[in-house]
Chains A and B, each alone.
Chain A
Amino acid sequence: MYEAVIGLEVHCQLKTHSKAFSPDSTSYGARPNSCVDPVSLGHPGTLPVLNRRVIECALKLGLATRCRIARRSVMARKHYFYPDLPKGYQISQFREPICTGGFVDIGRRIRLTRIHIEEDAGKSLHDRDPHATLLDLNRCGVPLLEIVTEPDLRTAKEASVFLQKMRQLVRYLDISDGNMEEGSLRCDANVSVRKASSSGLGVKTEIKNMNSFRHVERAIDHEVARQIRVLEAGGTVTEQTRLFDAAERQTRQMRSKEQAHDYRYFPDPDLPPVEVTEGMRRAILLTLPELPDARRHRYEEDLGLPAYDAGVLVEERHIAEYFEATHAELVRVVRDADPAACAKVVSNLVMGDVMRALKENRGAAFALAPERLAELAHLRMAGKLSSTGAQELFARMSREDGSAAAVAARHRLLQVGDEEALRPVAAQVLRDHPKQVGQYARGKRTVLGFFIGQVMRRFDGSPDPRRVRELLLLMLDEKVS
């Protein structure tokens, strides 16, 4: 039996307004070669100046993953020739990265070797012109964090889970949109296999070009299978870089170790070392949001939410925050509120109507402010709304102004729950249908449904059917006995 040993190098594009080392815009999808300035074009005489926000992003991720933060880290030049790398080197970090150590928990701890700052290259288009490659340098200089793991992952599935965890984290920290399809989250994998009993490391290959979670899983699975086939056939795996071909669903060789680059790293003399003071560290620590794992734990333990609800609610930070704001408001307005009961009502609304609405108008804001959703939840808790009524009220409120109670009244969505309102109507119904009352008296209990329907109809469908049923039972028993 073989086991796979996998390490990942994740590149995460940071959400900054301007580039890592120059003030031109990072906007996505602009006219080719329009979001550039002489610095990102690598024109002679230009110099890089580091964007403060990039340091802050690195600190956020480093602190969130419990890394050691270097008080002094060094920007370095990594040299290679490629048309979309205008300076002939990429500014990166090498010997002294800003974050080291740390881990991400995917059920067990996956250790991080390092997190460092670097700049992106431009984009090469190979298929637009049969005889040439076309360059769009808009992406040159967009800031990236590279996250390198220890070879702690054992399966393709784990690699994919790690990556999803990473995506969730960078989105929580609001440092990246974590979109793999658009390339703001990219991943290379170092893969080797070994006999399950052994503790040494086999020869590894590097897989590049995986641009979805599914591709990561597939590519690694294929590469692991390929290496096992090679070993089983008595061969040896050679160190090389392989490209994942999504269409062919396989990896193919890109370059061998002999062709490997000699990057000639050295500290960039244009950029002073990055200093992180204790004050900066503490300030960033204060801005960190509660992270998904801690939040989920709290929802389950303190609010008594089912694990499923907690998982869904914490998935995205803005949803978790919306849930919490609504819940807090509900607890505030309900007399002697039971936080757990409130949590479940709000959870149901958020996982249902709220998330459905978000999905329908992609990217749009929440349909209701948390205060208004809390009003709706309050009515629901008080039994004044049926589940279908709640759904309709949500839809109405997202289009109309007014408090939940006002909108519900306007559209007669409130359940009539009190006996004073129901009793005269129910009495009238019984008076109007002596024949059916007689049937009931003779033991035909099914006519109860008929009476409930009659009462409901006279109220335009809004009373709580349970209440109507209870009341009718009471009144019939009085009559019959």
Chain B
Amino acid sequence: MAVSIDDVRVVARLARLEFSEKQEELLTNELTAVLEYMATLDEVDTEGIAPMTHVRAVAQGVRDDHVKAGIGTDDALRNAPDTYADYFRVPKVLGG
């Protein structure tokens, strides 16, 4: 599976990462090599084999609808790089 530099750019955009052109070329080669290696899976006949989405498919682990007190606004904002009053402050969202 050959990855093109345009593929790398589309994926970088999806992942919100930016690279120099040189890095993009390097990544193109690295991803191509890795994906070629992964293509070895094509050898495996998986007809009729269910995908293993979870290690254990038990229906455990739901919780009852009980409230536990949250951490409060001060703690919520404690790690925030920028705040305004009781809010997180981030660059203006344009469009949507």
Contact = CB atoms under 8 A, between A and B. Distances in A.
8 pairs of A and B residues whose beta carbons are closest in the complex: A275-B59, A134-B87, A53-B65, A23-B68, A32-B86, A135-B88, A24-B70, A267-B53
Contact of A32 (B57, B58, B87, B93): B87
A460 B64 CA distance: 62
Contacts of A18: 63, 65-68
Interface string A27-39: 0000111111110
Interface stretch (B1-9, B26-34, B39-47, B71-79): B71-79
A2 interface: no
Given A17-B67, A23-B68, A34-B72, A272 B93 contact: no
Given A134-B89, A269-B53, A272-B60, A37 B68 contact: yes
A272 B59 contact: yes
Given A33-B73, A38-B71, A41-B76, A135 B87 contact: yes
A52 interface: yes
A82 B53 CA distance: 27
Given A25-B67, A33-B87, A52 B14 contact: no
Given A24-B68, A255-B96, A50 B63 contact: yes
Interface in A233-257: 243, 254-255
B38 interface: no
Interface residues of B, number: 37
Contacts of A83: 88, 90, 93
B48 interface: no
Given A129-B84, A133-B91, A272 B61 contact: yes
A24 B57 CA distance: 27
B81 interface: no
Contacts of B57: 72, 272-273
Interface of B: 14, 16, 53-54, 56-73, 76-77, 82, 84-93, 95-96
A36 B54 contact: no
A50 B63 CA distance: 6
B88 to A, nearest CB: 4
A113 interface: no
A131 interface: yes
6 contacts: A24-B68, A34-B76, A37-B70, A82-B93, A264-B14, A274-B59
Contacts of A50: 61-63
Interface residues of A, number: 51
Contacts of B82: 132
A125 interface: yes
Contacts of B77: 33
B59 A31 contact: no
Contacts of A255: 95-96
Contact of B88 (A24, A33, A55, A131): A33
A436 interface: no
A254 B90 CA distance: 21
Interface string A272-299: 1111000000000000000000000000
B62 A25 contact: no
B76 A36 contact: yes
Contact of B58 (A38, A129, A272): A272
Interface in A137-151: 137
Nearest to B65: A53
B65 A16 contact: yes
Contacts of A269: 53-54
A41 B72 CA distance: 11
Nearest to A259: B95
